[in-house]
Structures are given as C-alpha cells and as structure tokens.
C-alpha cells in the first residue's frame, strides 16, 4: 500500500495505491498523524483489492477520523472500493463520495472504466453522452448501474 500526500488549499489530498489487506494497518498508523487538516480528499482510483481484514482496518481508521471531526471526501473510487462501500455501509461517511469509476464496455470489444460524478449518477441514464475511446460508439455499463450506485444513492 502506498499513500501520496499533497496539500490543496485547506484540504489534504491522499492518493491511495495498492490493496487493502492484512498489511494495511501499519500504513494507516503511519498516515493518521500526517492528517493535520480538518478536510481530507482520498483518491481511490488505484485501489484494486479489498479483503475483509483490510476493510476492517479501514473502517477503524475512518471512524478515528470521524471522531477527530475530519471531513472526508472520496474521488475516483475504483470498482473494488465501490463494492466495499456496498458490503460495508460505514466504509465511507454518508454522502462523502464525489466521483467513481464505473466498469463499461462497448460492442467493439472495449472494456474499461468511465468516471461518474455526483451530478451524473442522479440521472436516469448515467452514461448519457459517454462515447467509446476506441470506436467513438456508445458505451454501456458492464455492471447493473442501480446495484453499483447503491452506496452513493443510499
């Protein structure tokens, strides 16, 4: 697990890369004292795997930030991160997800992710206007959008 920390105005920006697994606790223990602001933005684009032990450690970390009254937001949440939010309702604080990566595909064979923001996932057709980077055709969700967006719509 790797955290890249930068300051953006009054908020701390933490880009996360790797897996949430049994080794996460040590990394979170090192990260916690570095969060000295009242606002932190977590970039979860590069989170690939989350196992139950890693999820448990993350839940404790987020609870600790909440107790310290640190305002958390999450952007570019990977499919693995979104799935963890569905499985563990307190994985992120309510209404703190700002954008996520939805698995998409096209008839030309392209498979990838499409970045959805808060305004897009409230629309009936979340992929309206999304075109394939390979053939410029229309893309469709590779997962059930309602199920995938459950964590952000609750």
The pLDDT confidence band at residue 122, using thresholds 50, 70 and 90, is confident
Percentage of the chain modeled with pLDDT above 90: 81
Is residue 54 over pLDDT 70?
Answer: yes
Is residue 10 over pLDDT 70?
Answer: yes
Is residue 154 over pLDDT 70?
Answer: no
Tell me the two tokens of residue 13: 């920006």
Percentage of the chain modeled with pLDDT above 70: 99
For 27, the 3-state DSSP assignment is helix
Instruction: State the Cα–Cα distance between residues 150 and 138, nearest whole angstrom.
Output: 24
CA dihedral in degrees (48, 52, 57, 63; nearest 10)?
A: 100
pLDDT of residue 140: 92
pLDDT of residue 153: 64
Which has more confidence, 123 or 90? Answer: 90
Mean pLDDT of the 140-145 span: 92
For the entire predicted model, the pTM comes to 0.93
- 60-116, pLDDT tens digit by residue? 999 999 999 999 999 999 999 999 999 998 999 989 999 999 999 999 999 999 999
Tell me the two tokens of residue 9: 């105005």
Tell me the two tokens of residue 38: 């009242």
Instruction: Name 46's bridge partners.
Output: 17
Name the fold adopted by 2-97.
Transcription Regulator spoIIAA (3.30.750)
What is the domain partition of the chain in residue ranges? 2-97, 104-143
Mean pLDDT of the 10-29 span: 96
Q: Label residue 95 left, alpha or beta by phi (over 0 means left) and psi (-120 to 50 means alpha).
A: left
């Amino acid at each position: 697990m790797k955290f890249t920390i930068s300051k953006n105005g009054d908020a701390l920006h933490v880009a996360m890369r790797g897996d949430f697994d049994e080794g996460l606790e040590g990394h979170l223990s090192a990260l916690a004292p570095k969060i000295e602001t009242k606002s932190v933005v977590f970039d979860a684009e590069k989170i690939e795997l989350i196992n139950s032990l890693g999820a448990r450690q993350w839940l404790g970390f987020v609870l600790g930030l909440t107790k310290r009254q640190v305002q958390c937001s999450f952007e570019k949440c990977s499919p693995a991160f979104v799935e963890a939010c569905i499985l563990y309702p307190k994985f992120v604080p309510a209404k703190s997800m700002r954008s996520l990566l939805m698995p998409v595909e096209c008839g030309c064979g392209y498979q990838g992710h499409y970045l959805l923001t808060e305004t897009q996932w409230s629309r009936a057709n979340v992929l309206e206007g999304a075109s394939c980077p390979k053939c410029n055709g229309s893309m469709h969700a590779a997962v059930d959008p309602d199920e995938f967006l459950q964590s952000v719509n609750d």
